[in-house]
Amino acid sequence: MINHIIGKLLQGRYQIVQSLGAGVFGQTYIALDVDYPDNAKCVVKQIKASSFESNYLDTLRLLFLTETETLKLLGSHQQIPEFIACFEENKRFYLVQEYIEGHALTAELPINQEWGSVWSEREVVEFLLDVLGILEFVHSQGVIHCDIKPENLIRRAADGKLVLIDFGSIQSIDFGIGAELPIHRIPVTSLGYIPPEQFIGETQPNSDIYALGMIAIQALTGLEPLQLKADPYTNEIIWRSQNTPVNDYLAAVLSQMIRYDYQKRFQSAGEVLRVLKQMIWEPQPKQILTPDIEDEKSQNPVSGKLSPLFTGMKVGLAANSLLMGVGVYSLVNTSPAYSETETLSQAKKEYQAGDLQEAIALVKSIPSHSNIYPEAQATIEGWQEQWQVAAQQYQLALAASYEGKWSDVIDAGRQVPDILYWRNKTDKLVQKAYINIEAQTEDLLAKAYESASIKDFSTALRYLRQIPKESSAGAIVQDKLAEYNRKRQIRAAYFLNKAYSQASFGNFDSAVKLLKNIPSDALVYAEAQVKLNEYTQKKIASAKRKNFSLSRNSATKIQYFQLENQLQQLNIR
């Protein structure tokens, strides 16, 4: 099969010159684009078809359109190959993508500790940060790659950046087609990187995180995933040994990435990124040591340097001692009368309780010769400003509550300054807002699910977008927004494809009806409108031809009857 296609010209443009290998869902080739003077290279992927029956091909065509729309979105990222074209030829489906000049990550990884060199911790962290940034984008588009492995990470020759390729396995994610992944269908190079849940059709976004963690461990240890053993009781991968010098922090991160139970892993690429960025390699700040700490260091010569945690504690103690020294100096030399300090404290209590006038009166009773007089005057000015803001925000929250604008209630509540009196008043409104938002969310979610069940994804999305961002269902809403938006695009592309098919048979009426189902916010809407106009014109022209034909037939019949009548009158018959 592979040999037969080498040298073949597809679409009169893409000449297959080399096989790149086979995946779960198809065969990949390098091709030359003969339309370009320099015959630019590109990657052509042929989607595998196990049957040529009409129903199967319709299903496969839908999957093909799914991947096509996805690749168009993903190709906008600078570390994912750009989508070029897609087409169907002789009942086979093809994707064309940008060819990345470079080498696979396999060329950089140690196969074992007798060949090549294991990576340093810094190299592993930089690698993880690079790829996690790509995965964060991929997952934000509602897509799971499902086949992260060294062969699918290309070090681009132009800039040295890693590029994630081969999104062929994504097509089973949203529609549950071929949910389970039989081991005999998996390329040998993918084994060991695929997490356990993926074999039973429960693929998660953090399934990609598992695979990435296994690559990082391979880089650190020089052992391939299948060479690592698992704990017989917990099923957790045992990878860290005395021969693997790695600090506890990075080891904990990697172990969390490859947990057997996906619910116990990091839940998102962004979460791993945040954790890793906390261990960026920077010089430690200069230590501030008090005399007692110097003595302690000299008396305990176990190590030439303190651990970062211990150093942080010492620096904190030293800073506190310095501040305490300043405070003591102030109290000894410029201590205000106890009654004035008590007056200011009482004024603060009145202010928090809601009696601004009494609080101001108390502060004004502090004499001008007092050491706390400047502080007291500044306090009055600050209180008046905060009180005005608090009163204004409370009124906004109250008005929004009357109008049922619950998100506005919460926004106003967040901007109320830290005054106990106004906080208590606003919190009651905010609590009421949250209760109503949850009820509103439940209703809108039900309507969205109902619309989605009849494949009206545009209406479902409209309901989802009405759900306030403060809802506790925020994560569900974001997931469903991504899911329904993607399905809407796929459905629109499917209608466009069916319209093309109907028009090819001259069924312009059916084609027009299909195109009218494509929503205005679909990616293919502009193309659909062009075809809608074209097919509408052809439909009208076809109808005119039929009417003209009928008119001519009717006129001929009338002339015949008129002539026959004349013959009868002349007794010629």
C-alpha span between 134 and 269 (Å, rounded): 9
DSSP for residue 227: G
Residue 389, φ and ψ in degrees, nearest 5: -65, -45
Residues with catalytic annotation?
147
DSSP letters spanning 89-136: ETTEEEEEEE---EEEGGGTS-SBTTBS-PPPHHHHHHHHHHHHHHHH
C-alpha span between 485 and 52 (Å, rounded): 30
C-alpha span between 165 and 53 (Å, rounded): 30
C-alpha span between 316 and 311 (Å, rounded): 9
C-alpha span between 511 and 495 (Å, rounded): 9
Burial class (CB in 10 A: 0-12, 13-18, 19+), 184: exposed
Q: Are 420 and 353 in contact (CB under 8 A)?
A: yes
The two beta strands, 102-104 and 162-164, are: unpaired
The helix/strand count (H/E) of the chain reads as 17, 11
CA 136 to mean position of chain CA atoms? 6
- Is residue 48 part of an annotated ligand binding site? no
DSSP letters spanning 359-400: HHHHHHTS-TTSTTHHHHHHHHHHHHHHHHHHHHHHHHHHHH
Give the Cβ contact number of residue 234 at 10 Å: 11
Residue 238, φ and ψ in degrees, nearest 5: -100, 110
Tell me the two tokens of residue 558: 């009338």
C-alpha span between 143 and 135 (Å, rounded): 9
Give the three-state DSSP class for 450.
Answer: helix
Name the nearest CA neighbour of 41 among 2, 87, 81, 99. Answer: 99
Q: Are 7 and 17 in contact (CB under 8 A)?
A: yes
- The CA dihedral of 246, 247, 251, 254, to the nearest 10 degrees, is -80
Instruction: HSE, CB side, 13 Å, CA atoms: give it for residue 20.
Output: 22
Instruction: HSE, CB side, 13 Å, CA atoms: give it for residue 548.
Output: 6
Name the nearest CA neighbour of 26 among 45, 7, 8. Answer: 45
Burial class (CB in 10 A: 0-12, 13-18, 19+), 144: buried
Binding residues for ATP: 45
Binding residues: 45
